[in-house]
Structure 1
Amino acid sequence: MIKFEWKGVFPAVTTKFTDNDELDFDAFDINIQAQLDAGVDGFILGGSLGEASTLTEDEKFALLKHTLKFVDGQVPVILNIAEQSTKNAVYIAKKAYECGADGLMLLPPMRYKASDDETVAYFVAIAESTPLPIMIYNNPVDYKIDITLDMFEQLSLYDNIQAIKESTRDVINITRLINRFGDRFKIFTGVDPLAAESLMMGAIGWVAGLVDAFPKETVAIYRLIKAGRYTEAIAINRWFLPLLELDIHPKLVQYIKLAEVATKIGTETVRAPRLPLTGTEREQVLNIIHSALAIRPELPEGSWGKLNEVTA
């Protein structure tokens, strides 16, 4: 089985497009390099923020291969699977392994609201088809299927199902999972505005969104909390919160891409049916971003970067 450490900040990266609606690898590389420089611990491709539902199969694997080459083993590269059929999900898992992916993140079946037994069977079929380490993404708010503790009990029998992206928006669930399973699953918080609280309650990682525009601040909050330097982390988080709340809106892709433009590490181009922001909505989001940039805090020395470790 392929091994790496499920721990730290894993950006759910945005996919960059040219004005001709093709993959923009040049813009993508600028953002990925900024994330590496800030000290992130892994990348997740093809998630909701990555506009996965609009990507062709060829584009997903082109993006995976390009990222693996660019990152060159510095951190793990995870491919998200969000498919309608078990057959196609298994195919994607096998091909991701052949391409060199370090792991997978799995959403429940798309479109069809599968029962508990069907959802578990879907995950098990994928797990049995690949040696890759797997993170299960539990987001009943957006995807309408709740992966319960009893379902995770069944999934715990499969060694390569190793991590959980906890996005129920119920911070108490962190404690429920730890009480039930101990350290069997590595728990990542997946909701930006609740990340600090979730990390303090025992989440070991953060699948982050606003990290795409603010990588240093995201890494700093994570490292400071894990070092027990809560006062410093809370101060940064309070500044960050209006930005973090952009992550829980249906137009999170447009919002976060606009923030990437403001911090000069991204582009605003999205793929239809998404459209760039206009009018009052655009002004409101820009006001949040520019207000935050005007008072952007100084970060504690050593709280971000490739080689730095924060100590208490």
Structure 2
Amino acid sequence: MNWKGVFPAVTTKFHEDGSLDMDLFFKNIDFQLESGVHGIILGGTLGESSVLSQEEKITLTKETVDYVAGKVPVILNIAEGATQDALFWAAKAKELGASGLMILPPMRYSADAREVVAYFKAVANSTDLPIMIYNNPVDYKTLVTIDMFAELADCTNIQAIKESTRDISNVTRMINRFGDRYQMLCGVDTLAMEELLMGAVGWVAGLVCAFPKETVTIFNLVNEGKIEEAREIYRWFLPLLELDIHPKLVQYIKLAEYHCGIGSEYVRAPRLTLVGEERERIEKIIKDGIAKRPNL
């Protein structure tokens, strides 16, 4: 598994009546692939996994794997409250042809360090799929510490970390402790260029759903050492990237997809589409960004 590159955490597309809109979903996937992304992540926060049925998740995974047809890896996110459910999805991902897994610590129950490590090990030992641990204590209230990663190091298929602690120096701490044992990917859009400069090899991105070309260009420029060129695009991008660090990131990013012509703003309850002053404010950020899009 090559974890280097831009991995969109794609949104799930719905019709107005709430049913899956696979045609629009694949329109967006086409645009991602044409823009040069390096993988696709299904079932994350942006994918509204918590409001999808088991059957819908299976459909989404199978059809995406078939549609992408090996052009890039397809990664399934696992965010479950029960270890047995996580094990089910690890096995199902393998069965459906997914290339790897992204895994959050146990949901809802606030597990301690011993329990979190046991949870990750149980999943890792049940499959040969490569795994990326999603470390996001800000939103999900569980910090996977460096000492916990030391305990997980003997699970060879735990290969990567989606670094979302919002502490840039954590990239350096991890590299100092483990060298290249774990591949570090930035999971916070507003810190992406900074973490890439500090040694992250990838970017699990949100606004890429609406602006894939710009996201991939920044990544490529940083890797080519063209820092000034990357910085110019990143400064333009930052007001849009800040939409990724809000509790309504799903609504905000889906509205951006809609204005870019590669998505719709339909979400599933309890989320609701934006109205009033909030909608006007977010639309202004999106429209200003589109109007000032850099010439790539």
Q: TM-score range by the shorter chain?
A: over 0.9
- Name the SS for the 2:204 alignment partner: strand
2:86 corresponds to which of 89, 92, 105: 89
Partner in structure 2 of residue 34 of structure 1: 31
Please give the alpha-carbon distance, in whole angstroms, between the structure 2 residues aligned to 1:84 and 1:130.
19
Q: Does 1:173 align with 2:177?
A: no
Deviation at 1:86, TM superposition (A): 0.3
Larger CA deviation: 12-21 vs 246-255: 12-21
Deviation at 1:293, TM superposition (A): 1.1
| Equivalenced residues, count | 296
1:68 corresponds to which of 61, 65, 70: 65
Partner in structure 2 of residue 225 of structure 1: 222
Please give the alpha-carbon distance, in whole angstroms, between the structure 2 residues aligned to 1:152 and 1:174.
13
Deviation at 1:228, TM superposition (A): 0.4
Q: CA RMSD in A?
A: 0.5
Please give the alpha-carbon distance, in whole angstroms, between the structure 1 residues aligned to 2:122 and 2:291.
50
- Name the SS for the 1:78 alignment partner: strand
Q: Does 1:20 align with 2:17?
A: yes
The amino acid across from 1:89 in the alignment is A
Partner in structure 1 of residue 264 of structure 2: 267
Please give the alpha-carbon distance, in whole angstroms, between the structure 2 residues aligned to 1:95 and 1:64.
9
- Name the SS for the 1:162 alignment partner: strand
Query: Residues 250-302 of structure 1, C-alpha deviation per residue, up to 9 Å, x if partnerless?
Result: 00000000000111000110000000000000000000011111111011xxx
The amino acid across from 1:164 in the alignment is I
- Name the SS for the 1:288 alignment partner: helix
Q: Does 1:46 align with 2:43?
A: yes
Query: Residues 177-199 of structure 1, C-alpha deviation per residue, up to 9 Å, x if partnerless?
Result: 00001000110000000000000
Please give the alpha-carbon distance, in whole angstroms, between the structure 1 residues aligned to 2:241 and 2:105.
25
Query: Residues 128-167 of structure 1, C-alpha deviation per residue, up to 9 Å, x if partnerless?
Result: 1111000000000000000000000011110100000000
Runs of 4+ in 1 over 4 A off after TM superposition: none
Gapped regions of structure 2 (runs ≥ 5): none
Gapped regions of structure 1 (runs ≥ 5): 300-312
The amino acid across from 1:36 in the alignment is L
Please give the alpha-carbon distance, in whole angstroms, between the structure 2 residues aligned to 1:104 and 1:58.
18
Partner in structure 2 of residue 206 of structure 1: 203
Partner in structure 2 of residue 137 of structure 1: 134
- Name the SS for the 1:217 alignment partner: helix
- Name the SS for the 2:13 alignment partner: coil
Q: TM-score, normalised by structure 2?
A: 0.99
The amino acid across from 1:224 in the alignment is L
- Name the SS for the 1:9 alignment partner: strand
Please give the alpha-carbon distance, in whole angstroms, between the structure 2 residues aligned to 1:175 and 1:245.
23
Deviation at 1:22, TM superposition (A): 1.1
Q: Does 1:125 align with 2:122?
A: yes
The amino acid across from 2:156 in the alignment is D
The amino acid across from 2:242 in the alignment is E
Please give the alpha-carbon distance, in whole angstroms, between the structure 2 residues aligned to 1:103 and 1:14.
18
Deviation at 1:77, TM superposition (A): 0.0
Query: Residues 30-59 of structure 1, C-alpha deviation per residue, up to 9 Å, x if partnerless?
Result: 100000000000000000000011111111
